[in-house]
Amino acid sequence: MPSVRDSYQEGHVERASRAKGPDHWIFRWWERSADGRRIHRSKLIGTVDEMPTMADARRAVESFRATVNAGAQKTVRMTVREAWEHFQKNELNDPDVGRSPSTIQSYHDYFRAHILPKWANVAIDDVKAVAVEQWLRSLDLAPGSKAKIRNDLSALFSHLIRHELYTRLNPIASVRQSAQRLRDPDILTLDEIRRILANIGPVPIRVMVAVAAASGLRRSEVRGLKWADLDLDKGWFRLERGLVREGVTRLKTRASRKPMEMHPALAELLRAWRKQTPYSRDQDWVFASEYTRGERPYWPDTAMKSHVRPAAVKAGLTKRVTWHVFRHSLGTLMNDNGENLKTIQELLRHANSRITADVYLQGDTQAKRVALSHITGIFPTLPAQTS
């Protein structure tokens, strides 16, 4: 019989009463002896006076559980499925880590659809870089999706190392997987953007596209705008949130959360739209959908499929139009007009890892407004409001 534990031990915490004094918490688990027999173990954690809730007791036992599982005299045969369960319980939703709802959902999606079907019952000690690399190559996915899977696996092993459940180097660190696109996004000219806007019927969708094209906001950020986020008099976006599927998501980086300059013509367009929409209070969504009576904004994918792409076809365009294409086009147009690279980076709110550029090159507000002036003329005129 094996002398090593053949599975990862979560154990369990229970509350026990005493004849005298307060109730106390006990952690129970089992070990396997050299002859294969299960031996049940227990440890007193503390009293309910010291740890009032079950959550308090579970937190107190974490370091001891790691010792049980990763003691030098034992080899823990934790599987990838068990590691994923531990990651979910102890890190994925940790508010101190601060993952957004969309990022958390992405972890669930990739593990459920790709990682667990292949690796669920494989012991973590048996996950090797070359095998993971070959598996990624076999997947019929875009390079960006494969890179996200690799990063999720790497985060899983980093978590195990931090909890002393895996004592080797992270095997995913040496997995080679490029995130480079198979093809670059199409670029729209100013004239093509104007023609698309001219062929969009619904006013709110037309304004949504104008905002995306003239600001470079991501689609989740456009959808997540509320009137309180806009200073139309001074020309600023104060971005607070994105909206992905049904969930509000926190903007990921410090650069993403910076206030952003708004073109004066765009401010005028939004002011005109606010006068027309029935949902114009500060707490209302800028693009509140009439189909939900203002409770939710329009779905960007539906707007793209039903209105924006048909408008591009009517305009005679053969380019593949997506929400990201408007953002990508704005950056390219400013670059083609000779704008300062730092100014473009700050307008698009890209995080830059080059410390020198971040610290010593600063794009100023006036330069950004001048850069944005190159998109003057794309803004649609709203139809007169009928009483």
* Burial profile 140-176: b = 16 or more Cβ within 10 angstroms, e = fewer: eeeeeebbbbbbbbbbbbbbbeebebbeeebbbeebe
Higher-confidence residue: 78 or 248?
78
Q: What is the CATH number of the domain that holds 149?
A: 1.10.150.130
Both structure tokens of 215? 């600001």
User: Does the pLDDT at position 183 exceed 80?
Assistant: no
User: Which residues make Cβ contacts (< 8 Å) with residue 298, sequence separation at least 6?
Assistant: 204, 205, 208, 223, 287, 288, 289
Asked whether residue 198 falls in the same domain as residue 169, the answer is: no
CB of 372 within 8 A of CB of 214? yes
Which helix (DSSP H) or strand (DSSP E) does residue 355 occupy? helix 355-360
> The pTM is what?
0.58
**Residue 54 and residue 73: Cα distance in Å, rounded?**
30
pLDDT digits (tens, 9 = 90+) for 142-168: 888 999 999 999 999 999 998 888 888
| Cα dihedral 143, 149, 150, 156 in deg (nearest 10) | 170
Quick one: 122 and 270 in the same domain?
Answer: no
- Cα separation, 25 vs 148, whole angstroms: 40
Q: At 3, list the tokens.
A: 């002398």
Query: Do 214 and 121 share a structural domain?
Result: no
CATH number at residue 338: 1.10.443.10
Domain shared by 348 and 222, yes or no: yes
Establish if 149 belongs to a structural domain.
yes
SS3 per-residue string spanning 281-346: CCCCECCECHHHCCCCECCHHHHHHHHHHHHHHHCCCCCCCCHHHHHHHHHHHHHHCCCCHHHHHH
Q: 3 in a domain, yes or no?
A: no
For residue 46, the SS3 value is: strand
Q: What CA–CA distance (Å, rounded) separates 247 from 243?
A: 6
Residue 305 sits in the same domain as residue 226: yes
Q: How far apart are CA 216 and CA 218, in angstroms?
A: 6
Least confident of 4-13, 126-135, 311-320, 369-378: 4-13
Statement: residue 114 has pLDDT above 90: yes
One domain, residues 63 and 206: no
> What is the DSSP pairing of strand 12-16 with strand 24-32?
antiparallel
- The pLDDT of residue 62 is 76
Containing structural domain, residue 296: 190-375
Do 259 and 356 share a structural domain?
Answer: yes
Band (248; pLDDT cuts 50, 70, 90): low
User: What residue type is assigned to position 285 of the chain?
Assistant: W
Query: What mean pLDDT value characterizes the chain?
Result: 82
Residue 311 placed within a domain? yes
Report the distance separating Cα 1 and Cα 36, nearest Å. Answer: 5
Do 294 and 250 fall within a single domain?
yes
Residues 344, 303 share a domain: yes
Question: Cα 2 from chain centroid?
Answer: 43
Q: Are 13 and 26 in contact (CB under 8 A)?
A: yes
**pLDDT tens by residue, 293-307:** 999 999 999 999 999
Asked if pLDDT for residue 67 goes beyond 70, the answer is no
